[in-house]
Amino acid sequence: MEEVRVEKRGSVYVIRFDDGSKAWLSFKEENSKLYLLETYTPEQHRGKGYGAKLVEAAIKDAKSRGLKIVPVCSYSIYYFLKNRDAREVLTEEYARMSDSELEEYFRKRVDEEKRRH
């Protein structure tokens, strides 16, 4: 993957592509927690690791500011399923989940997102 730059703009982490499109991860900050709400990558850029770069930027930001992460969107949950060592930044409720509990939460969020869209 080419070198990418993730920018933080308001309540969104953004990657801007040469074709004018953007990938983004929206969040809200509340009570020393960073809620990862929704991730989007344009179709032509999917499967190339950009979603992971966005979540990694959120993790770096949370760690530097002493925040804990609440994964809400399905992609952020998927990221923590695949990257167990990154779970240290999650709030206690999510950090202590077993893989199967996290997978169940992931499936639930995917179903909810499908119904919404």
**What are the residue ranges spanned by the domains of the chain?**
6-116
**pLDDT by 10s per residue, the chain, length 117:** 567 899 999 999 999 999 999 999 999 999 999 999 999 999 999 999 999 999 999 999 999 999 999 999 999 999 999 999 999 999 999 999 999 999 999 999 999 999 987
Per-residue CA distances from 88 to 11, 52, 70, 115 (Å): 22, 17, 12, 31
| Right CATH for 6-116 from 1.10.10.10, 3.30.465.10, 3.40.630.30, 3.30.750.200 | 3.40.630.30
Q: What is the pLDDT of residue 117?
A: 79
**Residue 80 CB neighbour total at 10 angstroms:** 24
- Amino acid occupying residue 6: V
